[in-house]
Amino acid sequence: MMWLQQVVLPLIRLYMCGIKVLLYQMFNRSFTLPVLPTQNGRVAIVTGGTRGMGLETARRLASLGMHVIIAGNEREEGTEAARKINEESHEGRAEFMFMDLTSLKSVKQFVQTFRNRGLPLHVLVNNAGTMLISETQTEDGFEFHFCLNYLGHFLLTNLLLDLLKRSGRQGCCSRVINMSSATHFSGVLQMDDLNRRICYSSHGAYSQSKLALVLFTYHLQEQLTAGGFPVTVNAVDPGMVDTALYDNLSSLAKLLKRPVAKILFRTPAEGASVTVYAAAASEMEGVGGCYLYNGEKTQSSDLSYDPELQVELWKKSCELVGLQEA
């Protein structure tokens, strides 16, 4: 019975979410970005910016005039990504900085290195993620999806929060964008077993991490609003995008996915458009606590609005990464 609840049901729920998204994408065009204001002098960090949607996000923000820090764990790939962006863009610029989100030590080192440079921070895009990997623990003992997709970003955001607050001002807020997914609708937060050690399911672990990001988004925005700080936090859902995220599918699933992806999946540039919109659009100035899908504010799952669950996850996350509760 536990295997059915913890392994089979998460798989079914996740694939049902995927089918719903594909049906939507079959009949609806991808969001088209409006004309965006220049971002000269603004600094952004994009995690996982070496490929896929992260790279497209970094490229577009640099083209608007931003100084973009690509944060990732692939040095050669990251350096090459920054070089290509700088060749293309004469408005802003990009550079690579190493950070491994599955290591709390690495996240802290990245933040310290960034702080030492004395730069402001106006945009933080928590984009990096992984999906459907076999059961793996990080060096700190966390389940891999939970740490890479959520917990590492939770720590990174909190360690940079005072800098985001100082860099923003009323009428020109700093912005945090969290990359979630429609799979959060199938997510269940197992507070007594966040690392999924009792009965592992890669589908359940992935969905849980994406739900955690939405819960985190809403609770952080509530704190920032209560404190009157010029920082907004939003979650974005890019839809189903043809990226390396699907490399961990089974051989059969990959075979079935290939023809469907060519017709119905979004391109990385299309997927990144909602993130870029949240990061730079005038319409999003001062707007936080939203779940954005295809360029529109959308209702997320009922569970994601549970204030008690938001607080419980926040407290547990602070405990796990060794932060004092705000």
Rounded-to-5 percentages of helix, strand, coil across the chain? 55, 15, 35
Q: Which residues contact 116 (CB under 8 A, 6 or more apart)?
A: none
Query: How many CB atoms within 10 Å of residue 269?
Result: 18
Q: Give the 3-state secondary structure of 75-126.
A: HHHHHHHHHHHHHHCCCCEEEEEECCCCCHHHHHHHHHHHHHCCCCCCEEEE
Taken in order 12, 14, 15, 21, is the CA torsion positive or negative?
positive
Catalytic residue among 15, 200, 206, 293: 206
H or E segment and range at residue 303: none
Mark whether 150 is an active-site residue. Answer: no
Query: How many CB atoms within 10 Å of residue 225?
Result: 14
Using CA atoms, how far apart are residues 92 and 85, in angstroms rounded to an integer?
Answer: 9
What contacts 24+ positions apart, CB below 8 Å, involve 308-316? 309/189, 309/215, 310/215, 310/216, 310/218, 310/219, 310/222, 311/219, 312/191, 313/189, 313/191, 313/212, 313/215, 313/216, 313/219, 314/216, 314/219, 316/191, 316/194
Tokens matching residue 164: 């985001």
- What type of residue is 270? E
**73 near 99, Cβ under 8 Å?**
yes
Using CA atoms, how far apart are residues 308 and 305, in angstroms rounded to an integer?
Answer: 9
**240 near 179, Cβ under 8 Å?**
no
| Residues annotated as catalytic (active site), given as ranges | 206
